[in-house]
């Protein structure tokens, strides 16, 4: 968090950067069958204010000239640090009562990507995924190997008790399957670069060793400067089968669909197969799409025109 705070303060002081440049950021906090009208005023405010704070931080960074990868990382770190979402601090438990966290990130300019999966001690999984990408030797590291790598890169690790919240413990005991969701961010920066990132604790009561779509490049995360950046949330097995994140790009690239039509088509196909979830997308010109087939999805965006929208 010290690094994040310094980055925001420093970039807000940058001089000479043109604020005329086009940029956009979209975030999600998971899709599910919940109704925000049933939230208490306190609960509603907590979710709204957290999403608003993340968008404010991302907007501040982009206005100051930050690149897309750094903004994606910073925004996901903020959501990982919140117990409201199924990522980082709010991660859910597997069937053995332990935590297995996943994350991935991709740079649309270089098509470099990094991912970690099945880790239980990395405080902010997205920072480890970024380190894998920047190291460049591999794309995905899992379990103990990912944790050893993170420690070698001086990424903060914690005891598993850090992830245990009162709500998570109650949900585990009651075997509930709805509620908090995966987090993600997609960004178009002022230089025309795209990036996407996704972080999750997986499915509540998942089988030990299960891996969903979030750390899988092409399924849960994808970015290509020529087309768009995508982050998915939902029933990961279906998003893997349909290579959902890349399929949005493929439909734009080979079928000439707009970002709105391409993303809607992907969710339609997943829904017809029995899968549930949603995704967020921003294309190379700043067009945004946030389709889902569940009751709702925590989502929001802000762009260089000052247009902001938060929904759930």
Give the active site residues. 182
Supply φ then ψ for residue 91, to 5 degrees. Answer: -60, 150
What backbone torsions phi and psi does residue 278 show, to the nearest 5 degrees?
A: -160, 180
Contact 278, 263 (CB under 8 A): no
Q: What is the full DSSP assignment across 56-88? A: HHHHHHHHTT--HHHHHHHHHHHHHT-TTSSSG
- Look up residue 299 and give its two tokens: 């989502």
Can you tell me the distance from the alpha carbon of 247 to that of 135, in angstroms, rounded to the nearest whole number?
27
225-263 in b/e burial notation, b at 16+ Cβ within 10 A?
bebbbbbbbbbbbbbbebbbbbbbbbbbeeeebebebbb
**Tokens, residue 258:** 């707009």
Instruction: Give me the half-sphere count of Cα atoms (radius 13 Å) on the Cβ side of residue 246.
Output: 11
In the chain, DSSP finds a helix count (H) and a strand count (E) of: 9, 12
Q: Residue written as tokens 């919240």?
A: 165
Give residue for tokens 């080979």: 254
């Amino acid at each position: 968090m010290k690094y994040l705070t310094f980055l925001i303060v420093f970039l807000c002081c940058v001089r000479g950067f043109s604020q005329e440049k086009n940029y956009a950021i979209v975030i999600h906090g998971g899709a599910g069958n919940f109704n925000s009208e049933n939230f208490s005023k306190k609960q509603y405010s907590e979710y709204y204010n957290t999403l608003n704070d993340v968008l404010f931080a991302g907007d501040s960074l982009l206005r100051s000239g930050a690149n897309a990868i750094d903004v994606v990382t910073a925004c996901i770190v903020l959501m990982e640090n919140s117990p409201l979402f199924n990522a980082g601090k709010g991660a859910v438990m597997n069937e053995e009562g332990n935590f297995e966290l996943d994350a991935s990130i991709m740079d649309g300019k270089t098509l470099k990507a990094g991912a970690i999966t099945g880790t239980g001690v990395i405080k902010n999984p997205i920072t480890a995924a970024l380190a894998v990408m920047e190291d460049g030797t591999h794309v995905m590291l899992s379990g103990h190997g990912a944790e050893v790598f993170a420690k070698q890169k001086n990424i903060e690790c914690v005891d598993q008790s850090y992830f245990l919240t009162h709500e998570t413990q109650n949900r585990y005991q009651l075997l509930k399957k709805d509620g908090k969701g995966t987090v993600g961010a997609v960004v178009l920066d002022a230089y025309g670069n795209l990036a996407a990132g996704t972080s999750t604790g997986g499915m509540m009561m998942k089988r030990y060793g299960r891996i969903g779509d979030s750390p899988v490049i092409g399924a849960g995360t994808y970015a290509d400067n020529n087309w768009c950046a995508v982050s998915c949330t939902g029933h990961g097995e279906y998003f893997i089968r349909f290579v959902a994140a890349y399929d949005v790009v493929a439909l734009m690239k080979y079928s000439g669909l707009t970002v709105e039509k391409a993303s809607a088509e992907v969710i339609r196909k997943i829904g017809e197969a029995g899968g549930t979830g949603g995704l967020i997308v921003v294309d190379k010109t700043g067009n945004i799409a946030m389709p889902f087939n569940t009751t709702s999805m925590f989502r929001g965006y802000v762009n260089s025109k000052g247009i902001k929208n938060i929904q759930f």
